[in-house]
Amino acid sequence: MCNNIFTYIQRIADVVGKHRWITLFLLLSSASSFSYGDTLYLTSLHWPPYAGSQLKNEGASIAITRAALEAVGHKVQVDFYPWSRAVRMASRADSKYSGYLPEYAYPTEKFVFSNSMGSSPLGLVEQKRHPISWSNQSDLNQYTIGVVQGYVNTEQLDKMIAQGVQPAETVASDIHNIKKVVSGRIDAAVIDTYVLGYLLAQPDMKPVASRVQLNKHILTHKELYIAFKNNEEGKKWRDLFNQGLAKIDVDKILKQNMPQ
């Protein structure tokens, strides 16, 4: 096929005469830009139902990313790591990765964020027998709250933790936090409501599921994004992704890839 393309280009160039090299360059550029789709390389974590190598379509966020890029003629490959490593790998200048997902927006000079690819309702998992009571986030200062290392929570909660006014314990995963709530080592833990539902539905969590619940107040609804490297390549992919995102039904894809 390639030989036929170049033969055709050469014939056109011969006809054009003195402008043949300009014509050849333009035609080659057109062929290389549109004949084959590029591949975007991203990192992610095991965060079901949003992302995970063993999930249907690798999770809801990956399914949205893939559909958006396919809508503009490109592909995506996602490699999964523990969260801190996923962010670190995506930030390295010498890595093949142009970003990571899913992420909440936060102040940074290392990354630029895509348009929103869905919303994450953030709440608190608590013991059914000992629910916590609060109206304002400052009311949580009377409790010890579990958070996951590297995760962004709410701006106010993270600020209170940093200032030392909010008692908090950091763990490596949401499952660890749920188990600490069950054992009474912490009063509650920050968790996405869909993540909690997914985890409690797993067979090995059956003994735990009946002992915890989601607190009646939601902390916040946080938009989910892809964090792209803050360089020319990252911005190119961000713009392409945003173009594709506008062409697809995000809510429909989310529903199709969330547990029923």
CB atoms closer than 10 angstroms to residue 154: 15
Amino acid making up residue 4: N
pLDDT of residue 28: 44
* d(C-alpha 54, C-alpha 259), whole Å: 14
Q: Using a CB cutoff of 8 Å and minimum separation of 24, what contacts does 57-61 make?
A: 57/257, 59/257, 60/118, 60/253, 60/254, 60/257, 60/258, 61/101, 61/102, 61/117, 61/118, 61/224
* d(C-alpha 250, C-alpha 260), whole Å: 17
pLDDT of residue 234: 97
pLDDT of residue 24: 43
Question: Between the CA atoms of 91, 92, 98 and 102, what dihedral angle is there, to the nearest 10 degrees?
Answer: -30
Residue located via tokens 């919303």:
119
Residue located via tokens 């090995």:
204
pLDDT of residue 10: 53
Residues in the chain: 260
Q: What is the DSSP letter of 115?
A: S
pLDDT of residue 260: 67
CB atoms closer than 10 angstroms to residue 242: 15
Q: Consecutive 10-residue runs of the chain (260 residues): their mean pLDDT?
A: 46 48 43 60 96 95 97 97 94 96 93 96 97 97 96 94 98 95 97 95 92 96 96 97 97 87
Cα separations in angstroms, 171 against 148, 149, 177, 190: 5, 6, 7, 11
Beta strands, E only, 96-236: 99-103, 111-113, 119-127, 145-148, 168-171, 188-192, 212-214, 220-223, 225-229
Confirm if 142 and 116 have CB atoms less than 8 A apart.
no
Buried b (16+ CB within 10 A) or exposed e, 98-120: bbbbbbbeeeeeebbbbeebbeb
